[in-house]
Structure 1
Amino acid sequence: MEAIEQFLVDFSNLAWGMPLLVLLMGGGFYFMIYSGFLPFRHLKHAIDVLRGKYDDPDDPGDINHFEALSSALAATVGMGNISGVAVAIAMGGPGVLFWMWVSAFVGMATKFFTCSLSVMYRGRDSNGHLEGGPMYVVVEGLGSKWKPLAVFFAVAGLFGTLPIFQANQLTQVIREVVLVPNGFSSGDAFYSNLGIGLTLVLIVSMVIFGGIQRIGNVASKMVPGMVVLYMLAVFYIMAVNYTAIPDAFALILTDAFTAESVLGGAVGAIIIAGARRAAFSNEAGIGTASMMHGAAKTDEPIREGLVAMLGPLIDTIIVCTLTGLAIIMTGVWQSSDGNGVTMTAAAFNEAMPGFGSYVLVLCVLIFAFTSLFSYSYYGTKCFGFLFGARYKHYYNYFYVATIVFGATATMSAIISLIDGMYAMMAIPTMVSALLLSPKVMAAARNYFRRMKNVKRPI
C-alpha cells in the first residue's frame, strides 16, 4: 500500500513540473493579453447574462446560465477551498495564497476561452444528444485526426473527477470534529470511516442518478447559500482578529517571494504549489467546468464564456482568500499539527471557541455534497464519449463505489491521484484552446459588435 501511495506522489510531482506550469499560467497570460482584457471589460454584461436577461428557453442545451455556473461552482467551491488551501499553506506557507491569486486572475481569461469553445464546438454523443467539453472541442474544432488527444482527456477525466478527495475530507471532519470529541468513535477508525462512506454513497446516489437536470436544480439552490454562510463565518473571524489583517496580507506578499516556508526557500516550488491548488480549486484550464458550461441553454458561445469567467473570481479570489486569511490570522498554520480540513477547523475553533468547528462542519457538509453531486456529471460525459452514451450511466456505479475508497484511504494518496489526473486533463484542454483561440476572438468581436448595434437582447 505504501508503494502505491509513493508511486502516486511521484507521478503527481512529475506531472506538475515546469512544463505544465508554463502551459497553464503562461497560457492564461497569453489569453489575457491576446484578448486585450476583453472578458474583464465586459464584467457587467456577464452579470446581466447570469441574471437571465438573455435567456431563451428555445436555445439548445440542458440548463440555463445560472444553473451552469452554479453546477460548475458546486464542483469548484468545495473541499478545494477549505482543505485545499490548508494543504497549500501547510506545504508552502502563506505566500502560496498570492500565487493562487495570480493563477485565478489569468484563469478568468482561460475560462472565457475554454468555455466559449465548449459551446462553439459542441458535438453529439452516440444518442444524438448535444454535448460540450474539451473532448468535443478537440474533435469538432481541430478535426478527427486529433481524436487521440480527446480520448486522452476522457480517460484522465474518468479518474480526475472521482469524488475521493471530497469523501476523504468530509469523513475526516465528521470523525475528528463530531464523533471522536463526543465519544462516538473511539474504536477502529477504519470501520467508522467505512460507515460514514456508506452513508455518503446512499445520499449521493439519490441525486446523481437523476441526471444533469436534478444536479443543476440542487446546485442552483445550495451554492448561493453555502457561499454566503461561509463568507459570514470568515468575516466574523476577521472581525475578531481585525488587528491581524494588515500583517496577514503583508505576510502573504512577502512570503510569496522570499518563500521562507517548509519548502526551504524554493520560490519556484511555492509557485507550483499555488498553481496546483488554484487548479484544484477553480479548475481553470483543466476542462471539467467546460463540460458543465457546454450544457448551457444558449447559441451564443461568448455569453457562456463570460459567465464561466466569473467562476475563478468567486471560487479562488474570494472564497479561497477567506480560508487563507482565517488560517493565517489565527496562527494555526504554525501551531496546528493538522493538515487539510482539520487545520481549517482549528482556525474556526480558535476564533469561535466551542462552536467554531461545528460551523465549519455545516459548511463542509454543504460544500462537499454539492461537489459530490456535480463531479459525477463530468465522469459520465467522459465515459459516454469513450464507450457510448447508452452506457454512461454505468459510470455512476463506479463513481459511488469509490466514495468508500476515498473515505478509508490516506489523503496523500488521494490528492496525488487527483492532482496527477488534473495535470493530464489540462494538456488537451489548453492545447486545443490555444490552437483555437483565434476562433474565439473572431466570435467575440462579432458578438460585441452585434450587441452594440442592437438595443434589445439578441
Structure 2
Amino acid sequence: MQNMIEEWINAFVGFIWGKPMLILLVGGGVFFTLYGKFTPFRYMAHSIKLLTGKVDDGSGHGDLSHRKALAAALSGTLGLGNIAGVALALSAGGPGAVFWMWLTALLGVSTKFYTCTLGVMYRHKDANGNVHGGPMYTVRHGLGPKFKWLAVMFAIAGLMGFVPSFQINQLGAVVQTQLFPGVAWLESSAFSWALGIVLAVFVGMVIWGGLKRVADVAGALVPLMAGSYMVMAIAALALNAERVPGVFQSIFASAFSPDAMFGGLISVIIVGVSRGAFSNEAGIGTEVMAHSAAKTNEPVREGLVASLGPIIDTLIVCSCTALVILVTGVLDQAEGMQGVSLTMAAFKAAFGAPGAWLLAAQVLVLSFTTVFTFWYYGYKCFVYLFGEQAGQYYKYLYLSLVVLGAVLSLDVVFLFLIGAYGLMAVPTMVSALLLAPKVNQAAKTYFASHRYRESHRSQVADS
C-alpha cells in the first residue's frame, strides 16, 4: 500500500513540476526582472535602509515592522529547507542542482518584489480590524470574481503544503539517527508518537499567541541560529579550502551536463528549480502572507524588503550547506543517507561529534520557527476558505498534524509538499504577471516621491 501511495505522489509531483512549471517560475522571474528594469537590484541599498528603520517610520496599517515581517517570512524558509532540502536536492540532482537553485534565487529577487508588493496592495481588512493578505486576496481584489477559482486553488494547495510533517519528521530523524544512534527504543513507533505529542505541546504554546508571538519568537531566534549556522559553515569551508575551487567547477560542469544525475539535464534543472522554490519560496506565495502583515502604507516598501529574502536564504545559507556537503565528500559516501542526515554527516566530517551536536541544536530551533510560521500560513488559507469564526479550529487540526509528522515516511512527506508548492505557484505567478503593470506604476510613483523628499531634505539641510 505504501509503495502504491509513493508511486501516486511521484506521478503527481512529476506532473506538477514539468516543463510548464519551469516556464512559469523561471520565465516569470525573467519577465519580472526585465519588465521592472532590475528595480529590486538597483534599490537594494534602499531595501536595507527600510529593514533597519532608517526610511520608514513604521506607521500605517498592519501588525509587524519590516524587520519582523522579513523575520517571519525567513523563519518559514531558513530552516530545514536550507539544511535538509539542499541535501535532498544534491542527492537527487547532484552538484549541478545547486546552480539551478542559484538561478532560481536571483530571479526570485524580482519575483518576490512583485508578489509581495501586490500582497500589501490588495490585502484585506476584516470587520474586527485584522489584516489578511496573500495570493488569494491578490486574486480576489486584483483580478475580480472571474478568477476566484485561482484564489480557492491557492488556499486548498496551501492547506496541503503548510503541513508541518517534513520539519517534525526531520527533527525525529536528528534524535533517532544522529544524537542517539543505535538506541532501539528511539527507533520504535512508540517513541515517534511520544515525540510528536511533546512537540505539539511546545508548538501550541507559541501559536496560541497569534502572529505577533510567532514574529517575536522568529525575530529573536532566526538571526541567532542563522548566524551561528553560517559561522559553522564558513569554518568547515575554511578547513577544506583547497577543495572549494574544485567544488565550484563540479557545480557548473554538472549543471549543463547532458548525462547529469537521474535522468539528464532536464531532470537536474527540475530538481534545482523545485528545491530552490521549496527553499526560498519565490513565486510560491507563502512569503506574501507574512509580508502582507507589514505595518506600512507603501506596498513598494515591503516588496523591496521581501526581495532580500532569496539572497539571504538561498544565495547565502543554501550555498553554504551545499558547499559543506560537497567539500567534505560525504555525498559520494552517502548510501542510505538523505535530508538532514546527510548534512549532519558533512558537519560531523568537518568537526567530529561536536559538529553534529551543534547542528542538531540549530535544526531544532530553526525547525520550530518554520513550524510556527507554517501554522500562520495554513491559518490564513483556512480562514479564507471557511471564515474567521472557523479559524479557531485550525489550531487543533495543525497540532494533530505535528503529531502525525513524527511517524510518517520522509519520502512521501517531502514529495507531497513539493507537489503542493507547485500548485500554489500557479495562482501566485498568474496573478502577479497579470497585475505587474500595477506594481510598475506604484514603484514609479513611490521612487519619484522618495527622490522629492530626499531633495527637499538636502535643501533644508543646506539652508
Equivalent pair of 1:285/1:426 in contact (CA under 8 Å): yes
Equivalent pair of 2:123/2:134 in contact (CA under 8 Å): yes
Equivalent pair of 1:234/1:326 in contact (CA under 8 Å): yes
Distance in 1, matches of 2:217 and 2:310, equals 21
Q: Which residue of 1 aligns with 2:304?
A: 306
| Superposed displacement of residue 88, structure 1 | 0.4
The match for 1:271 among 254, 263, 269 is: 269
Does 2:294 correspond to 1:296?
Answer: yes
Whichever residue aligns with residue 208 of structure 1, its letter is I
Q: Which residue of 1 aligns with 2:195?
A: 196
Percent identical: 46
Q: Which moved more, 1:374-383 or 1:145-154?
A: 145-154
Equivalent pair of 2:283/2:425 in contact (CA under 8 Å): yes
The TM-score with structure 2 as length reference comes to: 0.96
Residues 47-96 of structure 1, C-alpha deviation per residue, up to 9 Å, x if partnerless? 00001123434410011100000000000001010110000000010110
Q: Which residue of 2 aligns with 1:427?
A: 426
Equivalent pair of 2:84/2:339 in contact (CA under 8 Å): yes
SS at match of 1:286: coil
Alignment of 1:223-242 (within 5 A): 223-242=222-241
Equivalent pair of 2:289/2:377 in contact (CA under 8 Å): yes
Alignment of 1:81-160 (within 5 A): 81-125=82-126, 127-160=128-161
Q: Which moved more, 1:190-199 or 1:275-284?
A: 190-199
Q: Which residue of 2 aligns with 1:174?
A: 175
Whichever residue aligns with residue 398 of structure 1, its letter is L
Does 2:414 correspond to 1:415?
Answer: yes
Equivalent pair of 1:193/1:408 in contact (CA under 8 Å): yes
| Superposed displacement of residue 325, structure 1 | 0.3
Residues 31-55 of structure 1, C-alpha deviation per residue, up to 9 Å, x if partnerless? 0011110110000000000011234
Residues 200-252 of structure 1, C-alpha deviation per residue, up to 9 Å, x if partnerless? 11111100111001001111101110111100111111111010010111111
SS at match of 1:239: helix
Unaligned runs of 5+ in 1: none
Q: Which residue of 2 aligns with 1:282?
A: 280
Note the aligned Cα RMSD (angstroms). Answer: 1.4
Distance in 1, matches of 2:271 and 2:187, equals 33
Distance in 1, matches of 2:122 and 2:43, equals 23
The TM-score with structure 1 as length reference comes to: 0.97
Equivalent pair of 1:215/1:373 in contact (CA under 8 Å): yes
Q: Which residue of 1 aligns with 2:461?
A: none
Does 2:427 correspond to 1:403?
Answer: no
Cα–Cα, structure 1 residues 408 and 122, in superposed 2: closer, same or farther, change >3 Å? same
Equivalent pair of 1:95/1:259 in contact (CA under 8 Å): no
Whichever residue aligns with residue 89 of structure 2, its letter is A
| Superposed displacement of residue 304, structure 1 | 0.2
Whichever residue aligns with residue 307 of structure 1, its letter is V
Unaligned runs of 5+ in 2: 458-463
Distance in 1, matches of 2:195 and 2:333, equals 29
Q: Which moved more, 1:425-434 or 1:362-371?
A: 362-371
| Superposed displacement of residue 128, structure 1 | 5.0
Equivalent pair of 1:62/1:296 in contact (CA under 8 Å): yes
Distance in 2, matches of 1:307 and 1:53, equals 13
| Superposed displacement of residue 315, structure 1 | 0.3
SS at match of 2:256: helix
Distance in 2, matches of 1:331 and 1:57, equals 47
Equivalent residue pairs, number: 454
| Superposed displacement of residue 145, structure 1 | 2.2
Distance in 1, matches of 2:29 and 2:358, equals 36
Whichever residue aligns with residue 99 of structure 1, its letter is W
| Superposed displacement of residue 163, structure 1 | 0.6
Distance in 2, matches of 1:439 and 1:257, equals 37
The match for 1:319 among 317, 320, 326 is: 317
Whichever residue aligns with residue 299 of structure 2, its letter is P
Equivalent pair of 2:186/2:192 in contact (CA under 8 Å): no
| Superposed displacement of residue 6, structure 1 | 2.0
Equivalent pair of 1:62/1:297 in contact (CA under 8 Å): yes
Q: Which residue of 2 aligns with 1:50?
A: 51
Cα–Cα, structure 1 residues 409 and 267, in superposed 2: closer, same or farther, change >3 Å? same
SS at match of 2:60: coil
Q: Which moved more, 1:196-205 or 1:50-59?
A: 50-59
Equivalent pair of 1:8/1:416 in contact (CA under 8 Å): yes
Equivalent pair of 1:127/1:389 in contact (CA under 8 Å): no
Residues 411-431 of structure 1, C-alpha deviation per residue, up to 9 Å, x if partnerless? 111011111111110000000
